[in-house]
Structure 1
Amino acid sequence: MLGSLWHGLKLRLTTQRRLPKKGDRVVMAMSGGVDSSVSAALLKQQGFDVEGFYMKNWDTRDERGVCPSEQDWHDVQQVCQQLDIPCKQVDFVKDYWHQVFQDTLDDYAAGLTPNPDVLCNQHIKFGSLLNKIPDDAWLATGHYCRTDGYGRLLRGREPAKDQSYYLSTVPWTALQRTIFPLGDIPSKRQVKQMAHDMGLLQVATKRESYGICFVGQHRKFADFLGQYIDQPAGQAMDLESGKIIGEHKGLFGYTIGQAAHIHHGSHKWFVAHKDMESNTLLCVPGSTHPALFHQACIARHWTWIHTYRPSSPSINVMAQVRYRQQPLKARLTQDDDGRYRVTFEQPIRAMARGQQVVIWDRDWCLGSGIIDDIVPANLPI
C-alpha cells in the first residue's frame, strides 16, 4: 500500500534481523490466564529455557473491591510447577501508578477516553519488565500478534483476536527482543483446546478477564473511578432541542457513543458530547444519529514504531480507533502544527478524544497517536 515510501526502511531492517533459537533464555510474562500459560508451554516444548514472570501492578491494600490478583499468582505458580519452569513475582505497583493509572485518572477527569492497556504495554510490560531481564534473553507475551525478527509488529492470524492495536506505541527495539507464541494460532478456541490437551485444566476453563484487573469482576468501572475522581452530577440535555432530559452522575463515567441510561420519553439516548465547562452531558436519540458519526480525527503524541516518517506528506493507510473495530481505509497527513490527521473514506461512529488511533500497512502496524480533536461527518439528519 505504501509502496516505495517504506522501501528504504525495509532495506535497513533486513540487515538487523534477529531470530530466537533453541536453548535461548525466554522470560514469559504470565498473567494466570490461558493465553500466557499455553505460550509458556509452547516455548518449553520448542526447547527454550523458559522462566515465568508475574507482574504485580496493583496493591490490593489500596482497593476496597475484590481483586483476582492473588488467585492469578496462584495459577501462575501452579502452571509453572506443572511445566517444570521457575517463576517469580515482580512488583511494578509504583511504576503502574505513576506511569499508567494517574494519567488515566487525569484523562477521565478531563472528559477524555484513554486506553490504559496501551500505556501499560508501553511503560510496564515493554518498559519496566523488559528492563529487568538480561540483554541476551527474550521477552515473550501471550498477545495475539506477530513480529518477524526485524522489529516489525504484524497482526495476529485471527482477526477477531488481533491485539497489535494495544502494542502500537512499543518501539521496534523492544519488539525485536519479543516472541509472540500465539501469533500464528488461528483461533482462541484452539488455544483453549491446546490447554486442555496439555493438561493445563485450571486455565483451560478459566473465565477470561476483560479491562483493568483491579476493578474486580462484579463492579462497574464508573463506580471504581468515582473513588478517585471528584466530579459532581449534572444535567443531561438533548443535543438537538437543548431541553433537559435527565441527570448524569459525573461526566467521567460516560463514553461517546454508548447508551446514556437516561430515561426520558420513548427514545433510547446515546452520549454525543461531554461539555466539561458547563458539566453537561449532551445526548441524542438513537444509536445511528448523525451527531455520532465523524469523518476524521487529529492526533497528538504520535509514535512511529520505527521512528521513521514517510517522505510524502500524505499516505494511504488502514486505521482503527478501537480494538476489534474493522480496519478502515484512511488518509494520513501531517498538519502544520506537527499533529497527524487521519481522514476516513467513510464516516465512522463514536470517535472520542483520548482514544488511540492506530495505522497499518496491510498487516504491518506502523504506529499511532492519541485523538486530540475530531471532525464531524456531514450527514443529513
Structure 2
Amino acid sequence: MSGGVDSTLSALLLKNAGYDVHAVFMRNWDPQDDASLGPDPCPASADFEDVQWVDFVKEYWNQVFERTLADYAQGITPNPDVLCNSEIKFGEFMDKVLSDEVVESIEKRGKDQRIWLATGHYARTRTLPSGETQLLRGLDRNKDQSYYLSMVSEQALRRTIFPVGHLPKPQVKAMVAKAGLERISNRPESMGICFVGKRRKFSTFLAQYIERSPGEAVDLDGRVIGQHKGLFAYTIGQAARIHHGPDKWFVLNKDMKHNRLICVNDSNHRKLFSNCVFARQFQWINGEPALVSRPDEEDQVLEGQIRYRQEAIPCTVQRHMDSYKVTFSSPIRAIAEGQNVVLWRDETCLGGGVIHSAFHEASSA
C-alpha cells in the first residue's frame, strides 16, 4: 500500500468481496541517502502504523538505482519505473510475500484458500483457456499503467490482482470519499520515482551521484554554441537552455567520446524523428508471437509506444539475432537510447524491450 487512493480502494474492494486482506508497505528508499531533500519526500510513509513494513532498500539500490545511475553516466535515458516493477515489486517483493512457506501456510487452512498479490495499478489481466494470463490495458486510458508492467513475467501476473483496473480515476476517488476517507481521496498523485518527488529537477538529484563533466555544446556543423553542464543531465529532444543567437536549441544527440552535446535550432528538426528502433532485453509476456517471423502480412500489424501515455502507433516487428527491429507507420520525435518500447495487439500487452538505437528508414514504396 502506498497510502494513495488507488491502493486504498483496492484493499477496500477486496475486503468487501470477502478476501482476507493484509496490507504491506514496501520501503525502497532511505531518505538518509539523500539528506539534501530535507524531510521524507514520500508523505504517505508516515501513515503506515497499521501495515507491515518490508524493507527493500538494498535490493532497490543494487538492482535499480545503481543500474539507473550507470545508464545516465553513459548518456542513456533509462526508465527506472519499468525496471522497478520487473525486478523489485513483481520480483523480489513478490517472491518474499508469496514465498513457498507463506503459500503453504495459507493453503493448509483449506483446499480453496489461495494467496494473491494485489496492487492499485490501472491494468487488467485475462486468463486464457490454456491457463496463461494476459496483461490488458486499464479501461481508463488516461491512467492506464500497463506500459510500466510490460516487462513483468506471466508467472508474476498469474498471481496478481488489479482491483481498480476496470475503473476510471474519478470514480476511484469518489468511491474512496464515499467510504469516509476524504483525506485520502484528496491526496495528490504519487510520483513514479517517489524519493525524488516534486521538489527538484531530476538532473539536480542525479548530480549528487554522478560527477559533472561540463563540455561544449555544438550545432550540426560542429560549431560551438555554448557549454553543457554534464551530458547525463540532458535528454534527447529537450530544450538545451543554451543561449546562442536568436534561436532556441534542442538536444539531438550526445557525443560521449568527446563530451559534446549536439543541438539543433528547431524543436521539430527532421533529425529528431525516427521510425525504427532496435531493442534488446525483450520480455514477451506470453512468448514470442508467431508474427515476428512473418511481419509483412497486413493482418499482423501491432501497436507500439515508447512513452507512457503516448498514443500507440501501428508497427511491425522483426527479430535480428539478440535484438528486435520495430518499425512504426509514422515517425516519432526524440527517441532516446534506454527508453522502453512496448507492444500491443488491441488491448493486450505483448511485452517490451529496451531501445539501444533509433533511426529513420526511408520507405521502399
Q: TM-score, normalised by structure 1?
A: 0.85
Measured after TM superposition, the shift of residue 161 of structure 1 is 1.0
Preserved CA contact (<8 Å) 2:41 2:197: no
| Residue 113 (structure 1) aligned with residue 84 (structure 2) | no
Q: What does 1:261-280 correspond to in 2, within 5 Å?
A: 261-280=241-260
1:285 partner amino acid: N
2:59 corresponds in structure 1 to 95
1:107–1:114 contact (8 Å) kept in structure 2: yes
What SS class does the counterpart of residue 41 from structure 1 fall into? helix
- 1:151 is aligned to 2:164: no
1:142 and 2:123 correspond = no
Mapping for residues 1-381 of structure 1, pairs under 5 Å: 30-64=1-35, 65-66=37-38, 68=40, 71-77=43-49, 87-133=51-97, 134-135=102-103, 136-149=114-127, 150-186=132-168, 188-239=169-220, 241-310=221-290, 312-315=292-295, 316-335=301-320, 337-376=321-360
How many Å apart are 1:210 and its aligned residue?
2.4
Following the alignment from structure 1 to structure 2, what is the Cα–Cα distance between the partners of residues 108 and 120?
16
| Helix, strand or coil at the partner of 1:148 | strand
Shift of 1:190: 1.9
- Deviation, 1:309, is 4.3
**Deviations 1:95-117 (Å, cap 9, x if unpaired)?**
10111001000011111110000
Relative to 1, partners in 2 of residues 1:378 and 1:70: Cα closer, same or farther, differing over 3 Å?
closer
Q: In 1, are the aligned partners of 2:42 and 2:197 still within 8 Å (CA)?
A: no
Q: Helix, strand or coil: the match of 1:50?
A: coil
- Relative distance call for 1:142 and 1:168 in structure 2 (3 A) is same
CA distance in 1, matches of 2:266, 2:40: 37
Q: Distance between the aligned counterparts of 2:79 and 2:252, measured in 1?
A: 19
By how many angstroms is 1:54 displaced?
A: 0.4
Q: How far has the Cα of 1:76 moved from its partner?
A: 4.1
3-state SS in 2 of match to 1:143: coil
8 Å contact kept, 1:294–1:348: yes
Deviation at 1:62, TM superposition (A): 1.4
Secondary structure in structure 2 of the residue aligned to 1:147: strand
CA RMSD across the alignment: 1.7
Shift of 1:70: 6.2
The Cα offsets for residues 51-76 of structure 1, whole Å up to 9 and x where unpaired, read as 11101001112112136466312334
Residue 73 and residue 118 in structure 1: after superposition, are their counterparts in 2 closer, same or farther (change >3 A)? same
In structure 2, the gaps of 5 or more residues are: 104-113, 296-300
**Given residue 139 of structure 1, which amino acid in structure 2 is its aligned partner?**
L
Segments of 5+ residues of structure 1 without an aligned counterpart are 1-29, 78-85
Given that residues 174 and 185 in structure 2 are in contact (C-alpha distance below 8 angstroms), is that contact kept between their aligned partners in structure 1?
Answer: yes
**2-side partners of 1:42 and 1:287: how far apart?**
46
Tell me whether 198-207 or 348-357 shows the greater mean CA deviation: 198-207
Any idea what the Cα deviations from partners look like across 1:179-206, whole Å, max 9, x if unmatched? 10111102x2222222211122222111
Letter of the structure 1 residue corresponding to residue 46 of structure 2: H
The residue type equivalent to 2:229 in the other structure is K
Determine helix, strand or coil for the equivalent of 1:213.
coil
Q: Which residue of 2 aligns with 1:27?
A: none
